[in-house]
Structure formats: C-alpha cells, structure tokens
Structure 1
Amino acid sequence: MMKKNAILLLAAALILISGACNEIRNGDGTGRVILKVTDAPFDINSIESALVTITKVELREECDGISDACEFITLSEDTVTLDLIDLRNGVTETLLDMEIPAGRYDMVRLYIYEAGLKLKDSELIHRLKVPGGSQSGIKVFLRPVLEVAEGSLEEILLDIDLSRSFILRGNPAHNNGFIFKPVVRAANMAKAGCIRGVVTDTEGTEISGASVWIEQDTVTATTFTDTRGFYAIIGVPTGIWSVSATREGYDTVRYDGINVIAGNKTVQNFVLTKK
C-alpha cells in the first residue's frame, strides 16, 4: 500500500546532488521518491514570467509493452502552477515528496493543462493550451531506469526547456503569439551530476545572459548565465559531454571531453572574446 508523506512542497530550493546512499529504514517495502522541476529558458531578458499548470503526475512501472497496457501509479492530482522563469541555474521546486512501492520505474507522465507567457513591457499574458497534454499526458522516459529499493531515497528531476517549448509565431519584430509544445527531460538524480561555472569576457567581467548548453549527439540541456555570469546545469547523466557558451556579439567557445560523474559537480568556466 502506498504511503504519502508530503504531497507538495512549494518552496524553491537549491538542489544538492545526493545518490541512493540516503537510506530510510522503514522496512515496509516502500522507498521514497522526490520529484523536482527546473527549467532551461530562452532569451530571459524579454520574459517576465513563464507559467505552467500541472494537474496530474504519474509514474510507470518498468514495462516492455505498449504504454497504455502498462501500470501507472498516480503520484499527485493536485493542480500546481509554477513560474519556470524562477527555476534556473540549479534552482528547483519540489513538486512532490512521497513513498511509493519498491520497484523499477521507466516513465513519468505529466499532465499540463495550460501555459502562460508574459513578456516584459507588455500587459498581455499569452495563454496557451497543450495539445494532448491535459488528456493523454506528456510521456517522459527515465533513462536509466529509476530503481527504488526498500528504504531508499530517490530524486527525479524534470527539466522543462523553454528555449524549445515556446515557439514564436512570426518574428520578434512582428510577434503573432506563441505555440507551446513542451520539451521535457527527466533525470534520475542518483545517476547524474552537475556542470557549473562562470562566463566572463577577456577582461574578467562577468557576462550575464550568455547561453550555455551541453550535448553529446544532440543538445540535451541549455541555460543562461545570471547577473554574476554564473550558470549551472543539473541532472546531467554520467558520461562524456561537450559544453558550449556564447552571447550575442561574442564568439562561441566549446569544450569537449567533459567527464560528468554521478553525485559530483564539474566546474567549467568560459572566457568569451568579442567579435
């Protein structure tokens, strides 16, 4: 029988990567799962708020068959609205914290009712429906599979990428509104690390609003530096990555062979040269 500890914790918090070494000796055949949300936004200088309303969250037991024939457990049916613009550079918001049966889980299904985007210097809020997001849900695979042992504490990170989720109709000079097609990745935090650092120019001045992204075969996650030039990408799967940074008016700098180890912070700073 599933035991719920705390369904929803609304306080945003800096996440410290901790693996499956955290144990709670309850001996009742359950483990604890924490689901957190973060974001990788596009051109944050023009955005005042980016709201996403989530109405339901489910977790699927590992299954090789068709998803509709596999068993899902409901983690939450509370309606929660998050402002993703606040969730950057390692800041997360805890969506739920609860006990679930021990086992292997390979998918999160997220039901998003609507999104709202408000630009600076505008009173208009672009309210956008999510095609199929509130009925059939958005399926996000967990790779590697989440293994919940009896008494263990596991964390799942959901990264909603605004840079690819909100699509501008027209162009910035002739804004015809937006389309919202959520791009979400899920990270098993027990098997993930963090890449962080500072972006400066050749004179040592911190660069805010610089774009930083990681990739292997394709771009996996992006973020932007804050006013101190700081960036952090959390929930990075273990392995070898390429990390790049740029900003308008500067060259792009790329580092290959960046090794990410579970539970560790990898520091990679950038010095950008003006064009």
Structure 2
Amino acid sequence: MKTTKIVFTFLAVLSLTLFSCSDENVATTGKLNVQITDAPFPFDTVEEANVTITKIEGRLKEGDIEGSPFITLTEEEAQINLVELNNGLTETLANTTVPVGKYDLFRIYIKEASVLLTDGTSYEMTIPSGAQSGLKVFVKPNITVGGDAPGQVLLDFDISRSFVPQSNPNAPNGISGFNFKPVIKACNVDTTGTLRGVVTGGYGADMMEPLFGAEVSVYNAEGMIETTTFTDENGNYMVLGLDPGTYSATVVADGYPSETADDVVITTGGETVQDFELVIAAE
C-alpha cells in the first residue's frame, strides 16, 4: 500500500494542507496539512470559544484501499480556542502517514465545547451525538494525496453558528447559556482564493482610523452568506477558502454607517484586496 504524510494544522477555519513528494519519479508519499479557522463571532462579549477534538479521520475514496476506507489522521487530543484563530491564523495538529489517493470526506470527533465570557462567566456545552461519533465534512474537489502538485483543504469552523447564545434579558450580559451545533465547511484550498483588506472609519479622509471588531460578511452571487469575520486591532480582516466567482462584501461597525462592495472577484490561488472606509456624515 502506498502511503503519504499528512500534517494537521488548526486555523479558526479547519484546513488541510497537502504536500507531496516522489521517490525515483514515482509518487508514493505526500503531506496533508490540516488547519482550522473561524467564521464570525461577537468578540466583544466572548473571551474563549473552546472545542476539544479527540480524533480526525479521512475517507480514502480512490486509492489502494484495504479494509475500512477511513484512515485515522490523528488521535491526539487537542483543545482549540477558536476565538484566537481568526483572520487566517493556524496551529499544527498532527503529522502522520496515510495511503495516497483521493480523500472526499473527513470525520471530526468532538469531546467537549465551552464558552468563557469577558465577565468571567463560563458555559459547558452539551455535545451532539453526531459530533461525538464523528462529524462528517465533505470536500469538493476531493483532496489528492500523491503526485507532484501540493494540495490543501480548509475546514471553516463557523463559531457564530456553532455556538448559539440563549438570550436572557435579566442576565447582566443578556446571555443564559449556549447551544452547541457545530457547523464546519470544507473547501479545497488549491481551487480557492482569499479576500483581505483594511477597514477604517471617521469623519473624513484626514480623520480615518482603523476599526477593531468591525463585522465583514461575504455573500455569494445568489445573495446567500458565505462567511463572516471581524477586523483585528489594526482594522485588518482576511477570509480564506472562497470559491472562484463574484461576491459582495458588507461591513458593519457600531457607530458607523454600513458599507457594501459589489463585484468582488475571487480567483483560484489569488488574493483579492478590498478595503472599506466608513465615513460618518457631518451634522
């Protein structure tokens, strides 16, 4: 059985980065880098959004399959604070050997999840049975391990949809708890592009400052939301794993008018820059 190296890395989108190498001109091994990154979350009230992953498996769709098509990629328990993994940050999870071939599905086993608010309040989540037995995440196009071309798969862990707050107007922070409903999207990084930019705000060109915590939402051509992220302290944002095509992006920040950019074009392997200036009208 031919094998390949698979390396796991966490972003706050979960991503796999595939590298390959050859032996005497015959491709026998490659590296698959797994990363996780996040889609949006209200950072102003949440200090941590933690998940504990105990195992990740990949399904070998095409290749030298003996027995189960599911290959264990890592069984090393890892706790990840998804709030820290924003705007393309990554963290390596594992480095292991797997058979070469095409992988179309990944199973992620989640043991625990919790939220810590900025006021010190913490909440432990009830884990759905599907997450305990392996959350299935398909990836298209499939990830090819082996050969000369490197490849990556990005698993986007959407915090805002995964950690659903339960409102309570009588609570100091307006929250009585969270429901955990993990939402992860997979994409083949080799076929996708990146959107990044800077968001500034103020009363005019000479008074613009970087905006921290501005929400950037990306919509596809059908008007459906693809993902959301927030700007850092320098006003920077980055969205990974967008399929090639034309999108619109909208920025919302407290105290500023919203701004939308249409016809944002994403290309395979490209990096599109879209800056925003939120100008407050003079009274």
Please indicate the TM-score interval, normalised by the length of the shorter structure. 0.7 to 0.9
Question: Does 2:153 align with 1:156?
Answer: yes
Q: Distance in 2 between matches of 1:190 and 1:248?
A: 36
SS of corresponding position for 1:226:
coil
SS of corresponding position for 1:129:
coil
Question: What pairs with 1:101-180 in structure 2 (closer than 5 Å)?
Answer: 101-122=99-120, 124-171=121-168, 173=171, 174-180=174-180
Q: Distance in 1 between matches of 2:104 and 2:256?
A: 41
Deviation at 1:200, TM superposition (A): 0.8
Q: Comparing both structures, which one devotes a greater share of its residues to strand? A: 2
Of 150-159 and 227-236, deviating more is 150-159
How many percent of aligned residue pairs carry the same amino acid?
38
Question: Does 2:251 align with 1:254?
Answer: no
User: Structure 2: 5+ residue runs without aligned partners?
Assistant: none
Highest CA radius of gyration, 1 or 2?
A: 2
Question: Does 2:100 align with 1:80?
Answer: no
**Aligned residue identity for 1:104:** K
Distance of aligned partners of 1:108 and 1:89 in 2 relative to their CA distance in 1, 3 Å threshold:
same
Of 131-140 and 105-114, deviating more is 131-140
Runs of at least 4 residues of structure 1 off by over 6 A? Answer: none
Q: Distance in 1 between matches of 2:115 and 2:133?
A: 23
* 1:269 equivalent among 271, 275, 281: 275
Q: Which residue of 2 aligns with 1:89?
A: 87
Deviation at 1:176, TM superposition (A): 1.6
Q: Distance in 1 between matches of 2:9 and 2:242?
A: 23
Q: Which residue of 2 aligns with 1:210?
A: 214
Decide whether the 8 Å contact of 1:200 with 1:229 is kept in 2. Answer: yes
Q: Which has the higher contact order (CA 8 A, sep 6+)?
A: 1
| TM-score normalised per structure 1 | 0.85
Distance of aligned partners of 1:3 and 1:146 in 2 relative to their CA distance in 1, 3 Å threshold:
closer
Q: Which residue of 2 aligns with 1:231?
A: 237
Decide whether the 8 Å contact of 1:110 with 1:133 is kept in 2. Answer: no
Deviation at 1:41, TM superposition (A): 3.4
- What is the CA RMSD across the aligned residues, in angstroms? 2.8
Question: Does 2:52 align with 1:53?
Answer: yes
Q: Distance in 1 between matches of 2:48 and 2:130?
A: 20
Deviations along 1:196-249, whole A, 9 cap, x unmatched?
A: 000011432111110002121321211100111110011222222221111123
Deviation at 1:25, TM superposition (A): 2.1
Q: Distance in 1 between matches of 2:45 and 2:196?
A: 24
The alignment of Structure 1 onto Structure 2 pairs a total of residues equal to 264
